[in-house]
Structure 1
């Protein structure tokens, strides 16, 4: 425990020491010149250097699969969200990512300018359902520039196997944009917890699942999306659990993981842990 705490501290030191100056440089270049190759190259450096640091300092390896399921052209990535690792895993495949962020963040000096240059999509949660038109306007603008939209449909980070809470935003984007949606499953919360500063060794995995084509009724789309993300995520969680976790497992989480294992065994689902 003490050793892993030290390893975690080393990673966080590296993470913040490089993130602050890089954010300033990327922000300034975005304010002056907009989105540039230099800014994007620095963003990719930030991602890959943090993944290397996670592996060398904290023992968290990265495995991303299913890229063959990403369609050519515009699309939406709808991903489970458990930790900051998820951003590292999703951005490279998006190539020109457009994240959805709270409108208040866009008012922050420098950050807001950089976010707009990188096609960030505003969501004003204070307006409830009336926030959707603004979000769709920004999303259409992002797609017109060749961006791929990244959204976390539950709106916030969730611990592994917490009760689901999918918001309406992803369905409204699906209806309003008429582009495929790629579900993304992941298991990063087992190694980089939402409420824990400790990082635990293991293999964080993300998998791009088959795209959902546009044109489905809203209810059918939502059911298909939730089933794909949750089934795929459960499979990755169970695979990590069966491989053996080095972290302490709280009783509630262990009970839920054991429940997944029993369900897979009862159903004879050989693909669950593959």
Structure 2
């Protein structure tokens, strides 16, 4: 495990050093257009995947690429780590995220997020946030963009009970476009709020799109069912691989105490 720790240290240091370079490149791109900023972000994501494979021995397999629709779309990935926030960008023409407002307060980086057309929300504003988020999302998606929204609102530890928020259902209904569910097992290799980066194979699986026109409750039920079923299968595959690599599954995810669910009016993720 010392070798894995050393590789993780080298990767983490290089990841943030390289990020500074990409931020500078995006700052120059911002002088031209928001689309140029997004293009730089895609290149950063691909570079980060390559860097993690080179240093940590973490490979990536993307399944179901043929299922990605063209045009306006809602993309609903499982959210286990920081990894998927940059790794999925490359597959969409005009991707955008809904993100917490505090990220836009970061010097330079926050301004680049806004320049790229990302939607910043104040999570403390409750129902008012949900209404504004849905309005902005509808406008951007109808312009032909692909909205990447994590349906649980925030990163969840591997094996944590699913906690799908009502906000994604409202956005789906308002936008009137298909939704692409995405399952993954990245949390076993880039654990949430941890230093270690593990070797093995991250698998991302694009699932069959859910058609437009479902009611909100049925949409959330179907989305949760397909994403959780596929994610559990991918996590089991990864654990088998890790057991073969290490002779056991690394304790990458410590026991978590689940917070009490938020009231419905606060579920805006």
| Same topology, TM > 0.5 | yes
State the match for 2:95 in structure 1. Answer: 97
Q: What CA RMSD, in Å, does the superposition of the two structures yield over aligned residues?
A: 2.0
In structure 2, stretches of 5+ residues that fail to align are 256-269
Task: Give the TM-score taking structure 2 as reference length.
Answer: 0.86
State the match for 2:34 in structure 1. Answer: 35
Checking the alignment, whether the CA contact within 8 Å between 2:74 and 2:177 is kept in structure 1 is yes
Q: How many residues align?
A: 251
State the match for 1:190 in structure 2. Answer: 188
SS at match of 1:240: helix
SS at match of 2:204: strand
Query: Aligned partners of 2:73 and 2:229: how far apart in 1?
Result: 21
Q: Can you list the C-alpha shifts for 1:5-35, whole angstroms capped at 9, x where unaligned?
A: 11011111211111023213313532x3322
Task: Give the TM-score taking structure 1 as reference length.
Answer: 0.85
Checking the alignment, whether the CA contact within 8 Å between 2:191 and 2:253 is kept in structure 1 is no
> How many angstroms does 1:109 deviate by?
4.5
> How many angstroms does 1:117 deviate by?
2.4
SS at match of 2:96: strand
**Alpha carbons of structure 1 residues 251 and 177: separation in structure 2 relative to 1, 3 Å:** closer
In structure 1, stretches of 5+ residues that fail to align are 254-274
State the match for 1:79 in structure 2. Answer: 77
**Alpha carbons of structure 1 residues 76 and 87: separation in structure 2 relative to 1, 3 Å:** same
Checking the alignment, whether the CA contact within 8 Å between 2:29 and 2:40 is kept in structure 1 is no
Query: Aligned partners of 2:172 and 2:219: how far apart in 1?
Result: 8
Which aligned pairs between 1:86-165 and structure 2 lie closer than 5 A? 86-165=84-163
Query: Aligned partners of 1:235 and 1:18: how far apart in 2?
Result: 33
Query: Aligned partners of 1:9 and 1:250: how far apart in 2?
Result: 15
Query: Aligned partners of 2:48 and 2:181: how far apart in 1?
Result: 24
Q: Can you list the C-alpha shifts for 1:72-111, whole angstroms capped at 9, x where unaligned?
A: 2111110111112212331111221100111233344533
**Alpha carbons of structure 1 residues 145 and 118: separation in structure 2 relative to 1, 3 Å:** farther
**Alpha carbons of structure 1 residues 41 and 104: separation in structure 2 relative to 1, 3 Å:** closer
